[in-house]
């Protein structure tokens, strides 16, 4: 559950339409996202995913308050390439924590620039989450984006966009030494174990709008996750609850 909610929070923001910044375009932006989280999970050791055997379990290993949302600021750079391709990179940080993430992304606007038909793009991104000792957590996003740009008074443009998003998460751990206080009586080999690999998939939808005026670019969006039940190998079945995330950006396009 911890890996699932961290993945959903740190990959929540899209903040890009179906179009690119142009053949020689360059974009740099400050971004932020508020992602809703849950204070408990529901799981079952019996495997009855749809039944009533689920019981609440707190999964946040925090020293203070259990978070109901995560604020994730980020710095992002995008560079346009020929043939309607873009490359980009992000650095993200979870506020009031030691968690951070790096993301590499590419986007192909396979149809853009038409005066009537919307722009369509495929975006692929890989996010690596760090800051937790022994935790190995990564996520791959596959996003199908559609948008349409509208000019306003010849100076400002508004670009509503929507996306269908598929995220594949993979989590595991390094070897962990449990019960260190028993080190004098029990060997380290007996107290050492690692969590097995966990794979999950999440489907989300995003709606947003971008406004540009000269080099200035603003955007805001909402991402919805409808929840889902999972029965992974080596783990008890669990259910991830529905959640919402809101994202915004202030950037400059050249």
Residue 41: pLDDT band with limits 50, 70, 90? low
Question: Residue 50's pLDDT is what?
Answer: 47
Q: What is the mean pLDDT of the chain?
A: 89
Helix (H, G, I), strand (E, B) or coil at 218: strand
- For range 198-226, the mean pLDDT: 96
- Could you give the dihedral angle defined by the CA atoms of residues 93, 98, 99 and 102, in that order, rounded to the nearest 10 degrees? 60
pLDDT in tens, 79-132: 999 899 999 999 999 998 889 999 999 999 999 988 899 999 999 999 999 988
Of the two residues 213 and 57, the one the predictor is more confident about is 213
- Chain segment 71-86, per-residue pLDDT in tens: 999 999 999 998 999 9
Residue among 169, 149, 135, 148 nearest 238 (CA): 169
* pLDDT value at 243 more than 90: yes
For residue 45, name the pLDDT band (cuts at 50, 70, 90). very low
Around Cβ 207, how many Cβ atoms within 10 Å? 14
Instruction: Report the relative pairing of strands 150-152 and 156-173 from DSSP bridges.
Output: antiparallel
Nearest Cα to Cα of residue 165 among 6, 22, 7, 21: 7
Strands (E), 62-191: 69-81, 85-93, 100-111, 119-130, 135-147, 150-152, 156-173, 176-177
Task: Evaluate whether 144 touches 162 at the Cβ level (below 8 Å).
Answer: no
Higher pLDDT, 244 or 234: 244
Mean pLDDT of 165-191: 83
How would DSSP label each residue in 127-140? Answer: EEEESSTTEEEEEE
The DSSP letter of residue 65 is P
Rounded mean pLDDT, 135-145: 97
Q: Which helix (H) or strand (E) holds 57?
A: strand 55-57
- Chain center to CA of 230: 18
Instruction: Please determine, for residue 141, whether its predicted confidence score (pLDDT) is greater than 80.
Output: yes
Point out the least confidently predicted range of 18-22, 58-62, 147-151: 58-62
Beta carbons within 10 angstroms of residue 214's beta carbon:
9
Domains of the chain (ranges, CATH numbers): 2-253 (2.40.128)
The residue behind tokens 């400002």 is 156
- Mean pLDDT, residues 56-66 taken together: 75
Asked if 121 contacts 19 with a C-beta cutoff of 8 angstroms, the reply is yes
Stronger pLDDT, 170 or 47, i.e. the higher one: 170
pLDDT tops 80 at residue 162: yes
The H or E element containing residue 4 is helix 2-10
C-alpha–C-alpha distance, residues 246 and 21, integer Å:
23
Supply the pLDDT for residue 183: 62
Task: Return the structure tokens found at 233.
Answer: 């190998």
- DSSP 3-state of 201: strand
Highest mean pLDDT among 28-32, 46-50, 171-175: 28-32
- Mean pLDDT over 210-220 rounds to 94
The neighbouring-strand residues paired with 196 are none
Q: Do 110 and 119 meet the contact criterion of CB atoms below 8 Å apart?
A: no
Better pLDDT: 200 or 176: 200
C-alpha span between 91 and 80 (Å, rounded): 19
């Amino acid at each position: 559950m911890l890996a699932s909610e961290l993945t959903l929070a740190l990959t929540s923001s899209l903040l890009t339409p179906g179009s690119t910044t142009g053949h020689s375009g360059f974009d740099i932006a400050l971004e932020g996202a508020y992602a809703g989280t849950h204070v408990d999970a529901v799981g079952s050791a019996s495997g009855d995913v749809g039944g009533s055997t689920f019981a609440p379990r707190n999964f946040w290993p925090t020293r203070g308050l259990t978070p109901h949302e995560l604020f994730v600021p980020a710095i992002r750079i995008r560079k346009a390439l020929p043939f309607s391709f873009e490359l980009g990179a992000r650095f993200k940080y979870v506020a009031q924590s030691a968690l951070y993430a790096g993301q590499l992304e590419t986007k192909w606007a396979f149809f853009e620039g038409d005066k009537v038909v919307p722009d369509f793009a495929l975006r692929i991104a890989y996010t690596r989450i760090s800051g937790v000792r022994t935790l190995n957590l990564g996520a791959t996003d596959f996003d199908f984006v559609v948008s349409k740009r509208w000019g306003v008074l010849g100076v400002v443009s508004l670009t509503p966009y929507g996306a269908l998003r598929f995220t594949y998460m993979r989590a595991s751990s390094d070897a962990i030494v449990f019960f260190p206080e028993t080190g004098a009586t029990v060997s380290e080999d007996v107290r050492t174990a690692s969590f097995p690999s966990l794979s999950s998939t999440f489907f989300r939808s995003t709606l947003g709008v971008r406004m540009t005026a000269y080099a200035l670019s603003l955007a805001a969006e909402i991402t919805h996750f409808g929840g889902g039940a999972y029965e992974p190998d080596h783990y008890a079945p669990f259910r991830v609850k529905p959640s919402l995330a809101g994202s915004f950006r202030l950037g400059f396009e050249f």
